[in-house]
Chain A
């Protein structure tokens, strides 16, 4: 898939909770196919003190309007300034970047586990994976109820479960404490996860122990996003691999976790 640098039009910027925003960007020409797990690298010109682009994974694509949306969680100066952009602003974006999750086979039963900004590719995958909703199970974890976002637009594509560390929404604890994970893990054919490293490692370990297919999407720091700076490498069983081109999605069997 050809990567391009394009000036995109910000057509919507919706605040989802105290620190999560959905930015909808429109391309002037037909969008290429974009799959869950793929990401884009965004220039945040208004944040003059930052030098490099910032990568964000894609939350959703609308090919009719040539728009895609990003889930932007405020983590630092770059993401904070990006959330202040308004409809009508132009934003330079390099896309589409990286690999995508392996789509499930049609009779698979899948478990999607997301946390933080890693919720975005999980919701996108639930939407487009093509399975019957009863076979799609999604666990979303956050610190507290206020850190979760409204997922009602994705409700029709699967079954959703929530965990919070303080018990304010859903099951109290981490995603791995949810009974769907802790008791039913063996019933899934494929497990997909994206979120904080510790969360993904916990999910990956359990899946590996039970010999279940599991893919994770990594968020290593990167400068370029298209495989030339070699800064975002992850140690794999086959040596250092660029997360931006050979990932961000990796099968856990390839990692040294």
Chain B
């Protein structure tokens, strides 16, 4: 019997497969398709202090082996989460992680303080990398000083595991990872989407209402994999890898490159059962290759 569990700080995930924020709602939306307790964790839809309507339609463009989105953090706000969603998920046997967003450092802090009160939320993912909002979001994640400032402020009010989600839209992602590690991040997750654009030649207009959006899907996988590898070598904290994972082999590649756990995102849009298929795929791979513990995979790339 292989051991699929992995750890981030003192938090144990029953397996290394999490669903990525913005692709699985709050878990309930995909519960028809799977037993949520089979997942290592669920990183819920990006949450803000106040409700957000998000960007105008159209918010999506299909691209070669991927898609652009420009949702813009549409959500009903943290109070709605606490009152209407948390009671339904708190007893499900998986790790439900809140993806924390803000336009200002004060908003990140205030939101985190509210989440800190929730016993059954074992960790947050601090999102400093959303490319689709005008204020905050990615702006914090593209320079070391601003990334440090957010992490430092949130760290003061939150002692449970804090995963910081990094933007790939930077010159050197390893530098940002080191900066947030230096301020007390317990793990980094990467990558968020790449800033991209789609144009309709017939109408001569941009496809997205926001002109630019975030690119995800297999199109970004090789770049995401490279970034996970670079960050793994630069920091001591665990790396959560994501970017175009469609199957167990993709997930294993990320772990070999240095990821302690992975997140499955865009693949869910095509088949919401993929995350649980990946769990069993990793298990079979470990059995075939005589690997006892999933954590042995992390960074075991043969060079």
Contacts and interface: CB of A to CB of B under 8 A. Distances in A.
A150 interface: no
Interface residues of A, number: 30
Interface stretch (B9-17, B66-74, B105-113, B145-153): B66-74
B207 to A, nearest CB: 9
B74 A233 contact: yes
A255 B23 CA distance: 26
A49 B23 contact: no
B56 A228 contact: no
Contacts of A228: 22-25, 29-30, 45, 268-269, 272
A223 B25 contact: no
B32 interface: yes
A230 B270 contact: no
Interface of B: 22-25, 29-30, 32-33, 45, 53-54, 56-60, 62-67, 69, 71, 74, 217, 266, 268-273
Contact of B269 (A229, A233, A234, A240): A229
14 contacts: A3-B33, A51-B63, A51-B270, A53-B269, A221-B58, A221-B60, A223-B67, A224-B272, A226-B30, A228-B22, A228-B23, A228-B24, A228-B269, A240-B74
A49 B64 contact: yes
A177 interface: no
Nearest to B274: A5
A223 to B, nearest CB: 4
A227 B53 contact: no
B182 to A, nearest CB: 34
A231 B165 CA distance: 22
Contacts of B25: 227-228
Contacts of B269: 52-53, 223-224, 228-229
B273 A5 contact: yes
Given A51-B63, A92-B271, A233 B23 contact: no
Interface in A212-257: 220-224, 226-235, 239-240, 245
A240 B54 contact: yes
Given A51-B62, A52-B67, A227 B54 contact: no
A2 interface: yes
Nearest to A239: B53
Interface of A: 2-5, 43, 49-53, 92, 94, 220-224, 226-235, 239-240, 245
Which of B24, B33, B60, B272 has the largest number of chain A CB atoms within 10 A? B60
Nearest to A43: B270
A51 B74 contact: no
A180 to B, nearest CB: 32
Given A5-B273, A52-B269, A240-B53, A231 B65 contact: no
Contacts of A245: 29
Given A5-B33, A5-B272, A224-B268, A229 B62 contact: no
Nearest to B73: A230
A227 to B, nearest CB: 5
Contact of A230 (B58, B71, B268): B71
A224 B100 CA distance: 23
A235 B55 CA distance: 10
B54 A233 contact: yes
Contacts of B22: 228-230
A51 B65 contact: yes
Contacts of B54: 230, 233, 240
A231 B273 contact: no
Which of B32, B56, B64 has the largest number of chain A CB atoms within 10 A? B32
A226 B23 CA distance: 10
Which of A50, A222, A231 has the largest number of chain B CB atoms within 10 A? A231
A4 B33 contact: yes
A226 B272 contact: yes
Contacts of A231: 58-60, 69, 71
Contacts of A52: 62, 67, 269-270
A234 B71 contact: no
A235 B56 contact: yes
Given A43-B270, A240-B53, A229 B66 contact: no
B69 A2 contact: no
A6 to B, nearest CB: 10
B155 to A, nearest CB: 30
B29 A227 contact: yes
A43 B217 CA distance: 16
B67 A5 contact: no
Given A51-B66, A224-B269, A240-B53, A233 B59 contact: yes
